[in-house]
């Protein structure tokens, strides 16, 4: 309470402080000043079609669009007649120069393992898994449910679906079997991609067990592809289940990306369902990628040498946009972490920032409030100069 204000409650929601950027940062930033930001905002309001056409031209199009926007309320169609592929924009176009040997994904598992996939290696894995999906009967227009840990293979799965034109539906690995079943049934998913389990707060979460319960009521599911993550024994249906490594075996290293209409559905993401039945929100290909690539570049000011970390799970739209598609479309290095932020100690995030030399760190208000409550001692134990 602030007695001098005449109010019994002090609000913390009105923030008036300003934090000017360092001149060194400002000199190389994509948006270099508040005045520059306001000018961009004014330009976007004055001529939104021109603004977004310019943003979309930073992508690689297989066929150019005829019209930027066809707006018939409540329906909007962006980049009408244009064809492109999201997987190609996130991978193939970076392979012609030095980026092919640049880290695309740095991954750390909760137990502490670290893997690094270059753009070249990620491209090879995506092509092989795209061919695996096709060999399992999946193709353009099919829906594929992804219920996986926060591991590189989850990103591989998303990009492989995008490559062949299959619409993915990522379901957060913390959701129950019932929640998974609802989403599989609504999307009428043909395949389910999962893992034997994942690590969370030092314990194993049995993902395959949840999938087995879920798909028992899903007649649309033809195959379940299972990644070996924990090594825990799992129930096995030899007529339905396929190990990830077996699906990948003998697959070709190349897979031509499908030329997809700009309005082709890239993914379905369901609401949490806390206020009723989960609702599937469909995101299209061209408009989504143009917006995601631009906002990721500008908001996080991604530079060629950055190591960028968005702590969101890929089961949420933030994870789709700012762990996978946005950073990779910009040729950035994106960090993925599997486990809990406070395991085994409350400095897990700060130790990772130090270990991987993270230069752009993006997390949630909930996490920030937790860190504030824990105090400054934990981050002070680490070199956060990056």
Q: Distance (Å, rounded) from C-alpha 150 to C-alpha 312?
A: 10
> How many domains, in total, are found in the chain?
1
Q: What confidence score (pLDDT) does residue 15 get? A: 81
Q: What confidence score (pLDDT) does residue 273 get? A: 77
Q: Is 271 a member of any domain? A: yes
Structure tokens at 93: 């176009």
Q: CB burial class (10 A; 0-12, 13-18, 19+) of residue 363?
A: middle
Q: Is 17 a member of any domain? A: no
Range of the domain at 194: 48-340
Q: Is 381 a member of any domain? A: no
The C-alpha R_g of the chain, in whole angstroms, comes to 22
**The domain spanning residue 307 has which CATH number?**
3.40.50.12780
Q: What confidence score (pLDDT) does residue 7 get? A: 55
Q: Distance (Å, rounded) from C-alpha 14 to C-alpha 196?
A: 47
Q: Is 312 a member of any domain? A: yes
Q: Distance (Å, rounded) from C-alpha 61 to C-alpha 65?
A: 9
Cβ-contact 253, 278 below 8 angstroms: no
Q: Is 32 a member of any domain? A: no
Q: Distance (Å, rounded) from C-alpha 133 to C-alpha 121?
A: 18
Please write the tens of the pLDDT for every residue from 131-186: 999 999 999 999 999 999 999 999 999 999 999 999 999 999 999 999 999 999 99
Exposure string over 298-322, b if 16+ CB within 10 A, otherwise e:
eebbbbeebbbbbbbbbbbebbbbb
Mean pLDDT by 10 residues, the chain (386 residues): 54 79 92 92 96 97 97 94 98 97 98 98 98 98 98 98 98 94 96 97 96 96 98 96 97 97 98 83 97 97 97 96 98 97 96 98 95 96 97
Q: Is 370 a member of any domain? A: no
Mean pLDDT over each residue of the chain, to the nearest integer: 95
Q: Is 101 a member of any domain? A: yes
Q: pTM value?
A: 0.94
Q: What confidence score (pLDDT) does residue 10 get? A: 62
Q: What confidence score (pLDDT) does residue 1 get? A: 44
Q: What confidence score (pLDDT) does residue 16 get? A: 86
Cβ-contact 287, 267 below 8 angstroms: no
Q: Is 6 a member of any domain? A: no
Q: Distance (Å, rounded) from C-alpha 157 to C-alpha 58?
A: 25
């Amino acid at each position: 309470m602030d007695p001098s204000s005449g109010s019994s409650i002090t609000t913390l929601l009105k923030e008036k402080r300003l934090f000017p950027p360092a001149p060194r940062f400002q000199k190389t930033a994509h948006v270099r000043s508040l005045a520059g930001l306001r000018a961009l905002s004014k330009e976007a309001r004055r001529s939104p079609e021109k603004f977004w056409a310019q943003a979309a031209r930073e992508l690689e199009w297989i066929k150019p669009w005829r019209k930027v926007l066809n707006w018939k309320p409540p329906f909007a169609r962006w980049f009408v007649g244009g064809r492109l592929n999201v997987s190609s924009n996130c991978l193939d176009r970076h392979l012609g120069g030095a980026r092919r040997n640049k880290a695309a994904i740095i991954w750390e598992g909760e137990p502490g393992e670290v893997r690094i996939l270059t753009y070249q290696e990620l491209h090879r894995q995506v092509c092989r898994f795209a061919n695996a999906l096709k060999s399992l009967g999946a193709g353009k227009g099919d829906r594929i449910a992804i219920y996986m840990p926060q591991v590189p293979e989850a990103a591989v799965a998303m990009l492989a679906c995008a490559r062949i034109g299959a619409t993915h539906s990522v379901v957060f690995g913390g959701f129950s079997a019932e929640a998974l079943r609802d989403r599989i049934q609504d999307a009428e998913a043909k395949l389910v991609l999962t893992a034997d389990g994942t690590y969370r707060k030092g314990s194993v979460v049995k993902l395959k067990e949840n999938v087995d319960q879920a798909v028992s009521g899903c007649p649309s599911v033809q195959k379940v592809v299972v990644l070996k993550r924990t090594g825990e024994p799992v129930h096995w249906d030899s007529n339905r289940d396929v190990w990830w490594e077996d699906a990948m075996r003998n697959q070709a290293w190349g897979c031509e990306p499908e030329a997809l209409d700009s309005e082709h559905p890239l993914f379905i993401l369901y609401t949490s369902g806390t206020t009723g039945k989960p609702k599937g929100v469909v995101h299209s290909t061209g408009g989504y990628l143009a917006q995601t690539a631009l906002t990721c570049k500008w908001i996080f000011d991604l530079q060629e040498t950055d190591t960028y970390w968005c702590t969101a799970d890929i089961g949420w739209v933030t994870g789709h946009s700012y762990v996978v598609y946005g950073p990779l479309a910009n040729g950035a290095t994106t960090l993925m972490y599997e486990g809990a932020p406070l395991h085994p100690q409350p400095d897990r995030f700060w130790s990772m920032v130090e270990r991987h030399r993270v230069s752009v760190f993006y997390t949630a208000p909930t996490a920030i409030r937790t860190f504030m409550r824990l105090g400054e001692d934990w981050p002070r134990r680490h070199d956060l100069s990056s």
